[in-house]
Structure 1
């Protein structure tokens, strides 16, 4: 009786030990797989970006490209499970072989191995193999996403508090306000103009539009992906992982998006503008819809809101193709202009999104068969919209800003892009009266005050948030060391930054003054 109980106890102990080893292996191979998968699909995202998107969990994954979902399930779930089960089975086979000899059927793999090697492996390596694997996986994951730099950011000096100027404390006045059409083109950068890499300037149709560009539009910390690019250009602040949680309820998901920040939509609303956002992907992805809703956008459209307007249900895995999106944008623009009320129409494209891009019917009809063609075709479609605006006479009271939302990530031509030493984001400011620039080097944060002044506002002092206007006269310019200091310290922990996310009444927007 006691012997039976002892045997049951031993079996239970071995089962628990085997399960723990399985979970350890699973954790290790999950870290390795997800690090490789992220790099393969998205290039080199920061840990800040990963932690930000982790907030949205399953919903964030469901609202993304279905091909990416399948790839994630294969590489990050199925493969680690399979390898972990196989390793535990092999280890159990070796243990039975050493304990019971070659009589058990599970010992068959061990019978074909060198007996001396099996013993050495099991007694000196096998016992701790899961732990060794987990340590190696942790090191690989940490190196892949610069974990040490992320840790340093938790203890460095508070750059944000020392340099951020709350827009609610800055006087902004209307001089000759114009309508705004703000276009974010997915992953569009100046590198695509390089004829050495691509045989020609893929963005020539945009460059030929009557307008002005800043030669050195650099990326900045906390602006590296779409929602971060939108936040940095409309609020002049970075998007950081600490924004995952409400400051008063640590550990709970946010219920509002930067409720205490004053952004472009807020100032335009205060000035009597009607704000509209249109995007082809899901509003729930990355909290984009929440941001526009919480910052005075009157109409907000995403994949679910727009797909009912299509004559065809033909959509890519993200949502609407750009050709269908631009038809909707054009129709909305005509209606907004006819209302005789100042408006801001902001929209984002998607066809140039990695890892493979999306071939719309418009582009296919023009013989587009590769990713370079998608880039050129997308540029041509945006150019056609601007030409429509010009031909319709809208530039008399409307200004157009074209921006890449961020530098390109993993895509079929990414290896070519990486050969360029200093890559810049595409930008174009289009109006009947070209702007006069005060410098060529700008950052995403500078777009907030620059766009306001471009459409006819006066930002007194020329600075909002972390941004300096690039067209103001007689104002302080950013210090020469700004870019280096931001790269070093901007993502450091900041209580002032966290306060922008706390659920409390936002400070009253200052009244925008009108100069008549």
Structure 2
């Protein structure tokens, strides 16, 4: 081709259309397969080469253009949604999506993901316009694209997950997990019940403790662990992989199976969160505990406020309540408070509980420094660790670990942790971050450690467990006697190997498979929000039928449809 013809050729819409499609195909492959970024231009170049060789958009024997709309547009859009979610969170968790849609997601701080969503939408629009042009001008693509539509639908993991969940409608046994649920009951109370401090460290999984892969990012938590009992092997079940799901698993002993699209008010927002089960707050409130929750983000997001207010907590404070109390009202992030501010307010709340009223107290706290994709390191961490590049998640992990250690040590120095059990745990495994390839290179587990009276320092227990096992373990660590060392679906990790966890007995993947068929446990969680099962003429519960409520699909993203940190 003569050089003087090249600019004219490149101005032809054929090449711009092929380039838009090639870049989109390359980006999707790189994102889903985790190939290095430099593979994208190679894939796009290969696409353009194939287009030149096969004369896509300029057949040798063209037929008249036809104004048609490709069948593949909708499957492409659905696949684009999957790629966006995969890029944002690493694991696409449909359960998280359904739950956040119903529990509330308007007061999130994910402005960065909103921008990304707009860019994705514009890119998808350009790609679909290019594909429509190609189908209209090249009759070969008109013949092929209907088959392409079927291929895209069949290969979309998003639709595959939804079809698996739909199988719960006709399953032979949708009550397998529900039969293993043990009602949480406190049988005996210690003479002097301890106070309780629960520190949830957003996305700070124990996997970061591997110094060879992650350096000293987790070092401050290792120091705290030497003062208490560290549990290893706490895996992530389906429907426990985002913040509220991890909290409910560890405080209620059950995965968070969203109310689904078939509850009695359809798409109406929820006004209660898992009202059908008793959780940690319910049990402690019955024992006279004064309970408080503090978090830097809005309590309206993802039903956090609804959950705690509905399960025994007297005080629930989030962004709306705490930001007005800041000395510097501009010292906030997209979600709300930085963790150094939050921990100062947490210490204030503990002082208040210590001086006001009688009886034990309980405080639950949720950090945000380690939230994917980059974290929100606090000002005090930047002063200590130096400049933050805005990307390195290990910087944020180190910040979160240090702030947690600093808070515990400050409270100890003030004498505020006398007769107090401290639990430190990740709320779930992290979503896609800068260290994603290293994290996913091997088995991953959640942080879980307890410190305080009766806990022997330097103790480590490795058991195959999940977040539901934290609930009974915590109750027994506080000195309460519970029924058979069990609560909800969990087994106490302090009871010894004879009391097997569900993961030890059945394995993680078989449990996840059961989750996809379960609807009775879902009905238990949302009792009063989902229709009761039909009963036969003798009042006995009828077997599952195709009218049963379908369990909402499971996860990922995690934690919020906003990537955040």
* TM norm structure 2: 0.73
1:492 matched to 2:510? The reply is: no
Structure with more helix by fraction: 1
The residue that corresponds to 1:37 in the other structure is: 84
Unmatched runs of 5 consecutive residues or more in structure 1: 1-16, 95-120, 506-516
Preserved CA contact (<8 Å) 2:423 2:448? yes
- SS of the residue corresponding to residue 481 of structure 2 reads strand
The residue that corresponds to 1:174 in the other structure is: 189
1:204 matched to 2:219? The reply is: yes
- Rate the CA distance shift 1:364–1:151 in 2: closer, same or farther, 3 A: same
In 2, the alpha carbon distance for the partners of 1:134 and 1:285 equals 36
The residue that corresponds to 1:360 in the other structure is: 378
In 2, the alpha carbon distance for the partners of 1:32 and 1:43 equals 15
Preserved CA contact (<8 Å) 1:462 1:475? no
Unmatched runs of 5 consecutive residues or more in structure 2: 1-65, 531-565
Preserved CA contact (<8 Å) 1:45 1:145? no
Cα deviation code 1:423-448 (max 9, x no counterpart): 11111101143158887333211111
Preserved CA contact (<8 Å) 2:492 2:499? no
- SS of the residue corresponding to residue 421 of structure 2 reads strand
In 1, the alpha carbon distance for the partners of 2:528 and 2:244 equals 20
Q: How does 1:467-486 map to 2 (within 5 A)?
A: 467-472=490-495, 476-478=499-501, 480-484=504-508, 485-486=510-511
The residue that corresponds to 1:103 in the other structure is: none
Work out which of the residue numbers 390, 393, 404 in structure 2 matches 1:382: 404
**TM-superposed deviation, 1:134:** 3.8
Once superposed, what is the RMSD of the aligned Cα atoms? 2.8
Cα deviation code 1:413-432 (max 9, x no counterpart): 11111112x21111110114
The residue that corresponds to 2:69 in the other structure is: 21
The residue that corresponds to 2:419 in the other structure is: 397
* TM norm structure 1: 0.80
- Rate the CA distance shift 1:86–1:473 in 2: closer, same or farther, 3 A: closer
Preserved CA contact (<8 Å) 1:274 1:297? yes
**TM-superposed deviation, 1:318:** 2.1
- SS of the residue corresponding to residue 38 of structure 1 reads helix
1:81 matched to 2:98? The reply is: no
- Rate the CA distance shift 1:437–1:455 in 2: closer, same or farther, 3 A: farther
- Rate the CA distance shift 1:306–1:395 in 2: closer, same or farther, 3 A: closer
The residue that corresponds to 1:407 in the other structure is: 429
- Rate the CA distance shift 1:486–1:280 in 2: closer, same or farther, 3 A: same
Aligned residues: 450
In 2, the alpha carbon distance for the partners of 1:394 and 1:299 equals 19
**TM-superposed deviation, 1:328:** 1.3
1:455 matched to 2:478? The reply is: yes
Work out which of the residue numbers 304, 314, 334 in structure 2 matches 1:288: 304
Q: How does 1:84-483 map to 2 (within 5 A)?
A: 84-88=128-132, 94=137, 121-122=138-139, 124-126=140-142, 129=145, 131-142=146-157, 146-147=161-162, 149-152=164-167, 154=169, 155=171, 157=173, 158-167=175-184, 170-175=185-190, 176-198=192-214, 200-209=215-224, 210-241=227-258, 243-244=259-260, 247-312=263-328, 313-339=330-356, 340-366=358-384, 367-369=386-388, 370-420=392-442, 422-434=443-455, 440-472=463-495, 476-478=499-501, 480-483=504-507
- Rate the CA distance shift 1:156–1:35 in 2: closer, same or farther, 3 A: farther
Preserved CA contact (<8 Å) 1:153 1:491? yes
**TM-superposed deviation, 1:201:** 3.3
**TM-superposed deviation, 1:296:** 1.5
In 2, the alpha carbon distance for the partners of 1:38 and 1:286 equals 18
Moved more, 473-482 or 323-332: 473-482
Moved more, 362-371 or 146-155: 146-155
Moved more, 218-227 or 82-91: 82-91
Greater Rg, structure 1 or structure 2? Answer: 1
In 1, the alpha carbon distance for the partners of 2:188 and 2:497 equals 17
In 1, the alpha carbon distance for the partners of 2:216 and 2:277 equals 39
**TM-superposed deviation, 1:379:** 0.3
**TM-superposed deviation, 1:144:** 8.2
- Rate the CA distance shift 1:54–1:156 in 2: closer, same or farther, 3 A: farther
Preserved CA contact (<8 Å) 1:163 1:466? yes
- SS of the residue corresponding to residue 282 of structure 1 reads coil
